[in-house]
Amino acid sequence: MTQLTHRRRFLATSAAAAIAVCSAGPVRAADAFRIGLIAPLTGPFASTGKQLEAAARLYIARHGDAVAGRQVELIVKDDGGNAEVTKRLAQELIIGDKVQVIAGFGLTPLAFATAPVATQSKTPMVVMAAATSSITESSPWIVRSSFTVAQGVAALADWAAKNGIKRVVSLVSDYGPGVDAEKFFNERFVARGGTIVEPIRVPLRNPDFAPFLQKVRDAKPDALFAFVPAGVGSALMKQFSERGLDKAGIRLIAEGSVTDDDILDGMGDVAVGVVTSHHYSAAHNSPANKAFVEAFAAANGGRRPNFMAVGAWDGMHLIYEAAKATGGAGGEALLNAMKSQSFESPRGPVQIDPATRDIVQNIYIRKVERINGQLWNREVDTLPMVKDPGKTKP
Ligand code: PHB
């Protein structure tokens, strides 16, 4: 008998004994369905953690704090964006708090560091934020509710080639999703007849964009294609303008993380006209999204949800629906019940591909516009139900 079966039998027997003693009564914490949410709530990527936590809490507030007859307990931990801490917190949540599922993962290295913990403990792991294609291949226990960077950027390369852009410099953060952005944008753009004048990679932590942007200015491409993770786009946009790239006639096109809805409105006029591709805009025109944006703002002092919030909201939906389908069981049953779900998200229709455990979703081409005095990513074109093109294994 495996250790896990032992533990389940033990829990089942002691639960039955407890019920025999106190016949009826309030739902006891021992029976709680526990979700461990690990996110960067402090440090340079705190905006991601705050969006994830706010959306997970909102989901519970709107859908009830009980599922399959069990009390839902959300245990939130701050990893500060440090992969060693993420891994340790995951171990503590699984062994100490006995969570049924671990969730969150604000950056790629944090997800990779934790994947072996999910595998060894046979704990479902819902990646709500990190977006490097190969993450889902690092553990069979991972399901992703966010997106992949590779999923969106090919559509942007097509848009650029069709819209008179011929020479591009690419500038990406030098880690997993940036490398994916560079590969999938640049290869597609070249296949469409474009030229990559120079691929530039900048450090993930504390990047000073100025010297890199000076190089871009000197190279005089038609456009700069950029990827930086959520929260960092403001600094890039500010220096793009300070270095006079806009005045020099260089267009900015980007992976949608750059015009992150959480910070977009503070970027000012330099952002107007920037074209991006992504899976979620707070301006997405659907009743489900309007309700989501309104509820999020009401619960968070007027703050706008970004794509991190929608990743957490949908990740909670996967967990709740799976828990309902399995009667609150954890482990493999919970994982399997998450693997083939499809539903209407605030971002549009979504589906988990059971073969890859990755999300299939619409990709939108968006343009930053000032609407009623505020900056928004307005969707101008839709590519329906795009699969991640970046899997390395067949
Ligand atoms: C990642 O680290 O995978 C990541 C984080 C933020 C983004 C995109 C990708 O906006």
pLDDT in single tens digits along all 394 residues of the chain: 444 444 444 344 444 444 433 444 444 466 899 999 999 999 999 999 999 999 999 999 999 999 999 999 999 999 999 999 999 999 999 999 999 999 999 999 999 999 999 999 999 999 999 999 999 999 999 999 999 999 999 999 999 999 999 999 999 999 999 999 999 999 999 999 999 999 999 999 888 999 999 999 999 999 999 999 999 999 999 999 999 999 999 999 999 999 999 999 999 999 999 999 999 999 999 999 999 999 999 999 999 999 999 999 999 999 999 999 999 888 999 999 999 899 999 999 999 999 999 999 999 999 999 999 999 999 999 999 999 999 876 5
Q: For the whole model, what pTM was predicted?
A: 0.92
Alpha-carbon dihedral angle through residues 120, 124, 126, 127, given to the nearest 10 degrees? 20
In this structure, are residues 131 and 179 in contact, taking their beta carbons and an 8 Å threshold? no
Ligand 1 binding pocket mutation candidate from 133, 149, 263, 278 (most atoms within 8 A of CB): 149
Alpha-helical segments (H) within the chain: 3-21, 46-63, 83-95, 108-121, 149-162, 176-191, 210-219, 233-242, 287-299, 307-326, 331-338
b/e per residue 97-131 (b: at least 16 CB within 10 A): eebbbbbbbbbbbbbbbbbebbeebbbbbbbbbbb
In this structure, are residues 224 and 255 in contact, taking their beta carbons and an 8 Å threshold? no
φ/ψ of 392, rounded to 5, equals -90, -25
Ligand 1 binding pocket mutation candidate from 38, 79, 107, 151 (most atoms within 8 A of CB): 107
DSSP code, position 273: T
**CA distance linking residue 157 with residue 165, whole number of Å:** 9
Amino acid at 312: A
* Residue at token pair 């969150």: 104
State in Å: Cα 207 to ligand 1 middle: 15
What pLDDT score was predicted for residue 11? 43
What pLDDT score was predicted for residue 9? 44
What pLDDT score was predicted for residue 29? 60
What pLDDT score was predicted for residue 206? 83
State in Å: Cα 308 to ligand 1 middle: 9
- Other C-beta atoms closer than 10 Å to the C-beta of 26 total 7
C-beta pairs of 27-33 under 8 Å, 24+ apart in sequence: 27/66, 27/69, 27/70, 27/71, 28/71, 29/71, 29/73, 31/70, 31/71, 32/70, 32/71, 32/72, 32/73, 33/67, 33/68, 33/70, 33/71, 33/72, 33/73, 33/100, 33/323, 33/328
What pLDDT score was predicted for residue 345? 98
What pLDDT score was predicted for residue 13? 42
Mean pLDDT of the chain: 93
In this structure, are residues 233 and 270 in contact, taking their beta carbons and an 8 Å threshold? no
What pLDDT digit, counting tens, does each position of 51-62 carry? Answer: 999 999 999 999
What pLDDT digit, counting tens, does each position of 230-253 carry? Answer: 999 999 999 999 999 999 999 999
CB-based pocket (< 6 A), ligand 1: 107-108, 129-132, 149, 176-177, 229-230, 257
Ligand 1 binding pocket mutation candidate from 174, 257, 260, 264 (most atoms within 8 A of CB): 257
State in Å: Cα 44 to ligand 1 middle: 13
State in Å: Cα 69 to ligand 1 middle: 35
3-state helix, strand, coil in the chain (%, to 5): 45, 25, 30
Q: Which atom of ligand 1 lies closest to the CA of 231?
A: 10
Task: With CA atoms as reference, report the closest residue to 151 among 391, 393, 394, 389.
Answer: 389
CA distances from 153 to 204, 225, 249, 277 (A): 19, 10, 22, 6
What pLDDT score was predicted for residue 15? 43
